[in-house]
Amino acid sequence: MTASFKASSFQWRLFAGSGVIESDLAAASRRHEAKRAFVICSPSIRSRTDLVTRVEATLGNRYAGCFDGIENDSTFRSVTLATEAARDAGADLLIAIGGGSVIVATRAVAIFLAETGSPFELMTQYPEDGGRPYSPRLMAPKLPIINIPTTPTSAMNRAGTGLKNAELDRRMEYFDPKTRPQSIIIDDDALMTAPWPLLRSTATTVYCSVIGSTAHAPSNPLVDADQSQAFRLIAPVYENLMEASEDAGHRRNLALAAVLQNRAEDDGRRLVGNSPFNGDYAVSTALHLFQPSIGQGDSTAVLMAHVIRLADQVDADQSRRVASALGVWEEGLSADAAAERVADKLEAVFRKLGMATRLRQLDLNQDDLPGIAAETVKNFNAIAGDSKSDEKARIDRSLRVLEAAW
């Protein structure tokens, strides 16, 4: 008998396949009675693909214009400019075309258009007196958002927003469930526009998340179904990504795995305790933000095996589940031996894809490591609930991971 559980559902529609921009975007915009649909993208999407042109042709007189200046890591500067452009266009619907930076930036545009407070008052607050950080409630209704992802990004149906601002010592962070997309359009040709380094990085982030989730016993049958299917979709494609990347269907499976993994986490995976098989989100994010040339997926992969090997104690059931999923389990293996096999298998997969498995292989100096570790306490997703007194322990643990990975 299934134990009692809770599940959540968010109102969004998914369209996936060949030509779904032409077949489904117009109807999706009409569903929201949109008359001024405004596109947000990066310079490369506008100049190197025909996606904006396709959207404009599909929407006809509902197309209100395009802002094509979103910068990597969703900078506050570019989001501010995008907000002004959307306001000037009289936007009543936002369409994000691109990867995680564009999709996250579009959520921020929706917030800035709707809320009356300063962006610096609306963002997550870190009290100077050492109190726990908190994220203000953002209550104003938001414009509907349609996401057209070009990569298998885990950002495509999330509600969190992080903006880079060089004038601050941390990211500007926001959380608003009303910025979840109303529709997600996974168009095959749009996915084929992502260059190899970007595809590899975003696919790696999803793959590592799916692997981490396999460690945990199912919290309810809905979570188990989504996570199991996410693994079946992503594992065979990712482990042969160089060859599979030229096939639109394979790229679509990567994107669908990201959607399912997000839904599994919404329904319970994030409530499960920490596990070494989850990697270290705080450290990998700090590494990426410290050196933006290191993609989020690359920063996740380079640490993954080392986090597993550094674990003080590995749960036997978790080791067995992950080792079985990766095809390296044998009866009689100890928890530590199974974990070591998992670490070895992951490193072999990453090397096959040309990814670094040691920090020394990246654009870093060993002297950078303490500074990166110090940044791990500036990530609300990782430290929510921590107090000021927890900071030193987290920094020490993070530095230990970085030194092991060097």
Residue 2: pLDDT band with limits 50, 70, 90: low
Averaged pLDDT of the chain: 93
- Residues 371-392 pLDDT 10s: 999 999 888 777 665 656 678 8
- Residues 240-284 pLDDT 10s: 999 999 999 999 999 999 999 999 888 875 545 578 999 999 999
Token digits for 317?
A: 């059931």
Are 224 and 52 contacting, i.e. CB atoms less than 8 angstroms apart? no
Same fold: 13-191 with 196-405: no
Q: What is the dihedral of CA 342, 346, 349, 354, to 10 degrees?
A: -160
Tell me the pairing of strands 93-98 and 37-40: parallel
Residue 397 has pLDDT above 80, yes or no: yes
Q: What percent of the chain has pLDDT over 90?
A: 84
Mean pLDDT of 221-244: 94
Q: How far apart are CA 289 and CA 73, in angstroms?
A: 8
* Residue 14 backbone phi and psi in degrees, to 5: -120, 130
Q: How far apart are CA 353 and CA 322, in angstroms?
A: 21
**Domain parsing of the chain, residue ranges:** 13-191, 196-405
Q: How far apart are CA 34 and CA 185, in angstroms?
A: 17
Are 357 and 302 contacting, i.e. CB atoms less than 8 angstroms apart? yes
Write down the CATH superfamily of domain 196-405: Dehydroquinate synthase-like - alpha domain (1.20.1090.10)
Tell me the pairing of strands 145-149 and 63-67: unpaired
Decide: pTM greater than 0.75.
yes
- Residues 36-79 pLDDT 10s: 999 999 999 999 999 999 999 999 999 999 999 999 999 999 99
Assign residue 279 a region: left if phi > 0, alpha if psi is -120 to 50, beta otherwise?
left
Answer CATH for 13-191 from 3.40.50.1970, 3.40.50.300, 3.30.1330.60, 3.60.9.10: 3.40.50.1970
- Residues 169-226 pLDDT 10s: 889 999 999 999 999 999 999 999 999 999 999 999 999 999 999 998 877 888 899 9
Q: How far apart are CA 307 and CA 405, in angstroms?
A: 8
Tell me the pairing of strands 160-163 and 145-149: unpaired
3-state secondary structure of 185: strand
Question: How many C-beta atoms lie closer than 10 Å to residue 61's C-beta?
Answer: 7
